[in-house]
Amino acid sequence: MSREVRELVKKYRPNLSVAEYGDIFTDTTEFMKIESGDVIWIDGLHYLVIRDESERSFGIEDPKYWVKRCMVLESGDRKILKLVFHERFTLPLGDLNIECYRSPEKEARILDLVRGDMRFMQGITRRDPKGNPVRILDVVSGKRLDAHVAAIEADHKTYFYRDFPDILEKFMDSCRAINFLHENGEIHGDIRRDHLWIEHGTGLYRWIDFDYTYDFEENPFGLDLFGLGSLLIFLAGKGLYTMHILEEKGVSMDRAADIEDGDFSLLYRNRIVNLRKLFPWIPAELNNILMHFSTSSEVFYESVDEFLYDLEPCLQQVRALSQ
């Protein structure tokens, strides 16, 4: 079918250089067969597959074969097509085991819910002839928030006084965006550092990837809250800290000597949560919020509203420190 794809490209994008022409797909069920140079036909439009998307995990590129970076031949627009992929895994949280899984239908609902709300990625869902819900997403042009923070050239004290107040304020608005989902009975499901982006040009913080969900009877919003807490810990610390990397990050080993078992994350057992022991200029009030996500905590946040209620005075406090 390469000839048909070649003719499509010639008709709609005559100046486009395509290394290899593939096939036309209407059924997206077997997404592993859909490669660069293929065309996905859906809802009357032809999407030329440029490449598979990928994520960086622990410094390694992790390809996402069910997520295709595409060009709409009829318009030239760049889109991301997320095809149906089901997976399950168990996440340990303290003494609990939480079942997590992908739900394309749940992501489709959220795309409808947040349409026009630029705190979130935008897109629509269309079904292929086999009934698969294909999510057609606008590309968020920007940079991961964690990559932005990591690239700031400053020691922690300078960063905390100069940069962190503005970052905290924008992060809190991103928390309100998650609260909007919760108020409508939805969850993000996969809140982590690489799923909050800063958009080029606007500077908006925007959430991406909503297809994970989980079963957590104790608190249906619990994992989202732990995700927000983990992200706050990263932002407050300008990175993550384990006992093995403190010295290379320039943290005094005298401070490290004070670290106790209860100072680590409940979700990620090797990560230090009690950042005030590493950076004494972090206010106690902010550090107390971080400690809600530690192994020593006996009280956990039940809602984003509670989390934000405690953060509001901390924002004023860190702003005053930056003056």
Find the CATH number of the domain harbouring 23.
2.30.30
Q: Residue 187: which domain range? A: 142-322
Strands 45-57 and 60-72: antiparallel
Separation CA 188–CA 186 (nearest Å): 7
Same domain, 181 and 293: yes
Question: Is residue 120 domain-resident?
Answer: no
Q: What kind and span of H or E run contains 225?
A: helix 222-237
Question: Is residue 99 domain-resident?
Answer: no
Question: Is residue 91 domain-resident?
Answer: no
Q: b/e per residue, 18-34, with b = 16+ CB within 10 A? A: beebbeebeebeebeeb
What are the pLDDT digits (tens) for 208-262? 999 999 888 778 898 999 999 999 999 999 999 999 888 888 787 787 788 999 9
Separation CA 323–CA 106 (nearest Å): 44
Same domain, 296 and 172: yes
Same domain, 148 and 273: yes
- If you compute the radius of gyration of the chain from its CA atoms, what whole number of angstroms results? 22
Specify the pTM.
0.93
CATH number reported for the structural domain that contains residue 263 in this entry: 1.10.510.10
Question: Is residue 108 domain-resident?
Answer: no
Same domain, 237 and 310: yes
Question: Is residue 209 domain-resident?
Answer: yes
Same domain, 67 and 150: no
Number of domains in the chain: 2
Same domain, 74 and 155: no
Same domain, 149 and 241: yes
Confidence of residue 59 (pLDDT cuts 50, 70, 90): low
Same domain, 64 and 151: no
Q: What kind and span of H or E run contains 284?
A: helix 284-290
Tokens describing residue 301? 């946040």
Separation CA 121–CA 294 (nearest Å): 31
Question: Is residue 131 domain-resident?
Answer: no
Write down which residue in 83, 117, 133 finishes a domain: 83
Write down which residue in 36, 55, 83 finishes a domain: 83
Handedness of CA 34, 36, 37, 43 (dihedral sign): positive
Q: Which of 154, 287, 303 is nearest to 224 (CA)?
A: 303
pLDDT of 62 strictly over 80? no
Same domain, 163 and 271: yes
pLDDT of 199 strictly over 60? yes
